[in-house]
Structure 1
Amino acid sequence: MSILSRPDAREPLVEPALDAPVARARRTPPASGRRTGSGPFPTARARRRYLLVLGGLIVLSLAFGAGYLAIDNPMPVGSEGFWIIAKLRVSTVVVMLLVAFCQALGTVAFQTVTNNRIITPSIMGFESLYRAIQTSAVYLLGVAGLASLEGTWQFVLQIAAMMGLSTLLYGWLLSGKYANMQVMLLIGIIIGGGLGSVATFMQRLLTPSEFDILTARMFGSIANADLEQLPIAIPLIVVAGGLLLLRSRRLNVLSLGKEQATNLGLDHRREVILVLLLVSVLMAVSTAMIGPMTFFGFLVATLAYQAADTYDHRYVLPVAFLLGFVVLSGAYFLMKHVFYAQGLVSIIIELVGGIAFLVVILRKGRL
């Protein structure tokens, strides 16, 4: 008996005839911009768009950084005095890079593990704790208390206090049998509100001059950074940020949710706690170094999601970092060299970030 006539033959040797439209579709190569297949970018056009966005952000970062260093330099270009002033400004650019790195990576990673794009790490009470520490120093020690918080050891103690708060919350609320992310966020909000109320109460007991000096420290500003803190801040930021970048693929899995991540073989609870601890390091260093910037990270993360237009954190995180530096350095450049109002930078960034937050809230159903 021929194999073609065997009743148990499972597959025919000859492919069945195709309809004319189907045959043409198989023979016709996919059109440009309609490439099929899985990956971080659904089409070749999306990949080209991402590369253009990334290249544009790199150019803007270099332009704003170079402009901040060179423009409005009273010395002739290339002279010894010119390079002395430029080197003094380099430290400011370095602080901007560190803050943008911390806020961007910390916010994107925090939103991923919480599966919520309308919250920021400040919800855990870091900034309220910073305000409480600064206010307590002035309340107990007077104006000299602020000066006592500017040293290296005081910087380390502030970071340790913020890390201790976060470790307590994560270890207590995410390691138990009934671990719950929503309960952790709610308790973080309550603790932040309580610390804010204590700080407000102490501020009302200060003299007008003490309150005026303290108010200047309540807004995030690059001028608050101390160069002596950089040898401690840079290693912490590099280690925490590097580990987050190395775990980009795991962040992709965490973004699917607890059930899907567990089914794919990922220890969801362990990964969430580890990522939150790394985020805590980044946010604690940034807040202790320059002060609170509540909506800056949210603004950068929201723009990064729209600009990168991909789910893959390997591509979202670099865009978020570059966007953070462009927003921060561009704001300082414009306010210093165009409007001559450098002290208003953080206020304007917070205002724009707050407006973006309200827009996202109103459009939540379509995001």
Structure 2
Amino acid sequence: MHAKRLVALALILAVCCFAYMTMGAKGNWSFVLPFRGGKLIALILVGVSVSTAGVLFQTITQNRILTPSIIGFDALYVMLLTGAVFFLGGHGYVQLPLIGLFLVNVGLLVGASLILFGSLLFQTTHDLMRLILTGIIFGTLFRSLTSFMQRMIDPNEYFVIQVASYARFTWVDTDLLLIASALTVLALAACWRMRFRLDVLALGHDAAINLGENPKRGQVQALILVAILVSVSKALVGPVAFLGLVVVSIAHLVTPGPYHSVLLPSSALIAAITLVGGQTILERVLRLSTPLSVVIDALGGLLFLALLLKGLRK
């Protein structure tokens, strides 16, 4: 059953990709195909990265309501971005090599996530409300520091932060596609190798130890992969708060079951369909009347509240 559904999702994604590449295309195909192809690859990379990071994070936190964005990764990314512009200046930040800046952002996000969220996960794995509240506190702290630095910088430099801190699906920095693709493929390969260990980690701390798995080592490895995948998506299109929650929740409905060998590809395909299909409709049919990130965050916010209230009633 799961194999048939995965094939169906793959076919739907293929149709969405074909529509994105061909709908409304006029003029020279030698220009249209590379131009749209770069954005298509970026959308798929972002979808796969966000969905995989969401699955891994929900596994190590052992609940289906938390994602890296909800717990504060987006606020951390914007704070690091603001700090770079604050200390280097807008001109200095823009002049930095894109690949070097991308790698520095990945390194900082990995280190900060391990320091801030690693100890949190190890100590409060079974306390959902404490995880959410601590994530909100971290997010509030990061946003406060970000706001403080933004008020002290030049308004022209603030524009640099504003452009990079909001999700943008109509414009993608294709210069980062090669390094982003390489990091994504390596992270996905590592996730796929961990798929059976992730099944064990999802059973809980005590069960994992009884089955011969080191929970802390697995959580650290998963958290590093989460930070890398989140960095890739943020560098390409910016933060999208609820995309991971939406696609992973749909994946649990479409392909129910505890096995990550099914959940990982299912959520990745659904995320890619959401971004490519949604962008095709908004860009080609509705003529960008509404940004895709606004639709995703609106639906994701409602879903988050519904899941939270459902969990509190149990």
The separation in 1 between residues aligned to 2:185 and 2:313, in whole angstroms, is 36
- Structure 1 vs Structure 2: percent identity of aligned residues? 31
1:250 aligns with 2:197: yes
Q: For structure 2, list consecutive stretches of 5 or more residues without a partner in the other structure.
A: none
Q: How far did residue 171 of structure 1 move?
A: 6.2
Q: 1:66 aligns to what?
A: 18
- Where does 1:1-367 land on structure 2 (aligned, <5 Å)? 47=1, 50-75=2-27, 81-139=28-86, 144=91, 147-148=94-95, 151-169=98-116, 179-182=122-125, 185=131, 189-205=136-152, 211=158, 214-223=161-170, 225-341=172-288, 344-364=291-311
Report the CA distance between 1:134 and its aligned residue. Answer: 3.3
Q: Matches of 2:231 and 2:57 in 1, distance apart? A: 14
Find the residue that maps to 1:225 and give its secondary structure.
Answer: coil
> Residue type matched to 1:244 in 2?
C
Moved more, 331-340 or 134-143: 134-143
Bigger helix share:
2
TM-score, scaled to structure 2: 0.88
Q: 1:293 Cα deviation (Å)? A: 0.9
TM-score by length of structure 1 reads 0.76
Which segment drifts farther, 310-319 or 340-349? 340-349
Identify the range of structure 1 (84-93 vs 143-152) with the bigger mean alpha-carbon deviation.
143-152
Residues 257 and 128 of structure 1, relative CA distance in 2, 3 Å threshold: same
Greater shift in the superposed pair: 60-69 or 353-362? 353-362
CA contact 1:221–1:291 (8 Å) conserved in 2: yes
Q: Which amino acid aligns with 2:26?
A: P
Q: Any unmatched runs of 5+ in structure 1? A: 1-46, 76-80
CA shift in 2, pair 1:310/1:348, >3 Å:
same
Amino acid at match of 1:329: V
Alignment CA distance shift 1:288-1:255 (3 Å): same
The answer to whether the 8 A contact 2:169-2:292 is kept is no
Cα separation, partners in 2 of 1:151 and 1:71, compared to 1, 3 Å = same
Q: Deviations over 1:141-184 (max 9, x none)?
A: 6653663467221111111111110232366567xxxx414599
Shift of 1:193: 2.1
User: How many residues end up aligned between the 2 structures?
Assistant: 310
Contact (CA 8 Å) 1:217, 1:224: kept in 2 or not?
no
Distance change in 2, residues 1:70/1:320 (3 Å):
same
The structure-2 alpha-carbon separation of the partners of 1:170 and 1:270, relative to structure 1 and needing over 3 Å to count, comes to farther
2:114 and 2:220 in contact (8 A); partners too: no
**Alpha-carbon offset, residue 138 of structure 1:** 4.8
Q: Give distance in 1, aligned partners of 2:232 and 2:70.
A: 16
CA contact (8 A) 1:149 1:155 kept: no
Matched letter for residue 104 of structure 2:
L
Higher relative contact order (CA 8 A, sep 6+): 2
Over 3 Å counting, the alpha-carbon distance change for 1:149 and 1:220 in structure 2 is farther
Q: CA RMSD in A?
A: 2.6
* Pair 1:309–1:143, CA change in 2 (3 A): same
**For the residues of structure 1 that align with 2:16 and 2:168, how far apart are their CA atoms?**
18
User: Counterpart of 1:293 in 2: which secondary structure?
Assistant: coil
